[in-house]
Amino acid sequence: MKKHLRITLLCLIAALSARIAFAQIPDPKINTVLPKIMVIPFVKEGEDMRTILDKDFNKRMAIAKVKNGFDSRGYTTKDFGATLKLAIDNKAFITGTQSDVKSAIIELSGADIYVEVDVHAEASPSGNSAKVLISAYDAATASAYATVNCDSREHYNTDNARLIDVALSVPMTGVRKEERVSITAPAPYTTNDAPPCLDQFLNILQAKFDEIATKGRPINLDFSIDAAAARTFDSKIAGANNKQLSDVIDDWLAENAYKNNYHMQGTSPSRLFYDEVRIPLYDPNGRNYNLNTFARKLSDFLNSKGVTTKRAIKNGGIFITVQN
């Protein structure tokens, strides 16, 4: 009887231990937010984003492979060609400049992140090679998230399409350039333990986005006083219990910065600069929370306290000028 009880108890302990051990295995899908992605071509000065892919098969292929890499991981991707056509049909371009076209396409796509892809193929007496440069940026602020340079290494008698595939499929590091990677074997063409270059890029990008989703999107916030204004940041604001203007602003940020996460770099009577203010990634309806929304709320608050302002948004930052 005692022996049977002992065996039963041991079985229960073993089962409980296994259950605890299993519960401690992290599920990588939990709390993971997948951003919406659009992959676009890198465009040099003087090139037109609207026509660049028509002339460059290698770039079209590289963009398709990078997009497929995101699709295979379950990301929602926005098709560049379809978004470009929609932008043209809707006459979304204001000036037709390269920066205007790019901004209009990114905004119309609703993407959280846009990924630029550039391809450089070259031939030399020692062999042919291709490099694929992949860079990811925050769609709202244009802040850089991740950049990798995928290198096929040199090979003989190989077309550019094959080399681009090799570049994305071999490790970014761990294989010396002078070593020739076998391209006759199935992808990823190497037994090196490091993951393929495209996978390394996706891993870096997801880790960065997870951090942003948790901590908020970082922006700069720059306040200045107009030359004709009568007040400074030391001035008392009657509509805010006679607090100094700098304190009024700081108190508002304490309540409205995402998770109270902000940092003032410097202050003076004529300038107030926050080198990092975190804003939400999404609004309550699940849409991208953009800089203009945050800037408008701040301006409306200051106007309600009798402080007239004008605002501008550029290079991932908000610029507020006090006018009265």
**Does residue 258 share a domain with residue 203?**
no
Give residue 26's pLDDT. Answer: 32
8 inside domain: no
**Does residue 268 share a domain with residue 249?**
yes
More confident residue, 316 or 292: 292
Give residue 182's pLDDT. Answer: 54
**Does residue 196 share a domain with residue 143?**
yes
Give residue 313's pLDDT. Answer: 86
2 inside domain: no
pTM: 0.72
22 inside domain: no
231 residue type, one letter: R
Segments forming the whole domain that contains residue 316? 216-322
Which of 167, 192, 212 finishes a domain? 212
Residue-wise pLDDT for 244-277, tens only, equals 999 999 999 999 999 999 999 989 999 999 999 9
DSSP string, 274-293: EEEEEE-SB-TTSSB--HHH
Mean pLDDT of all residues in 225-241: 93
Q: Is the pLDDT of residue 320 over 50?
A: yes
Packing angle of the helix pair 98-109, 80-89 (nearest 10 deg):
110
Q: Specify which residues 119 forms β-bridges with.
A: 132
Cα–Cα dist 192/233, whole Å: 59
Residue-wise pLDDT for 94-109, tens only, equals 776 777 788 889 888 8
Please name which of 256, 286, 261, 257 lies closest in space to residue 33, comparing C-alpha atoms.
286
Give residue 42's pLDDT. Answer: 93
**Does residue 124 share a domain with residue 189?**
yes
**Does residue 252 share a domain with residue 129?**
no
pLDDT band at residue 223, thresholds of 50, 70 and 90?
very high
Mean pLDDT of all residues in 142-161: 85
**Does residue 280 share a domain with residue 168?**
no
14 inside domain: no
Residue-wise pLDDT for 12-54, tens only, equals 434 434 333 323 333 333 345 688 999 999 988 778 888 888 8
Report the mean per-residue pLDDT for the chain: 82
Which of 169, 184, 212 finishes a domain? 212
**Does residue 275 share a domain with residue 143?**
no
Task: Kindly report the CATH number assigned to the domain that includes residue 108.
Answer: 3.40.50
Give residue 131's pLDDT. Answer: 93
- Contact predicate 290/140, CB 8 Å: yes
**Does residue 223 share a domain with residue 197?**
no
The residue assigned the tokens 């001035």 is 235
Q: Please confirm whether the linkage preceding 188 is cis (ω < 30° from 0).
A: yes
**Does residue 242 share a domain with residue 99?**
no
**Does residue 85 share a domain with residue 40?**
yes
Q: Is the pLDDT of residue 153 over 80?
A: yes
**Number of structural domains, the chain?**
2
Residue-wise pLDDT for 294-319, tens only, equals 999 999 999 999 999 999 987 778 99
**Does residue 240 share a domain with residue 308?**
yes
**Does residue 259 share a domain with residue 285?**
yes
15 inside domain: no
Q: In the numeric block, which tokens belong to residue 207? A: 């880790």
Which of 212, 246, 279 finishes a domain? 212
132 inside domain: yes
11 inside domain: no
Residue-wise pLDDT for 277-289, tens only, equals 999 988 888 777 8
pLDDT band at residue 10, thresholds of 50, 70 and 90?
very low
225 inside domain: yes
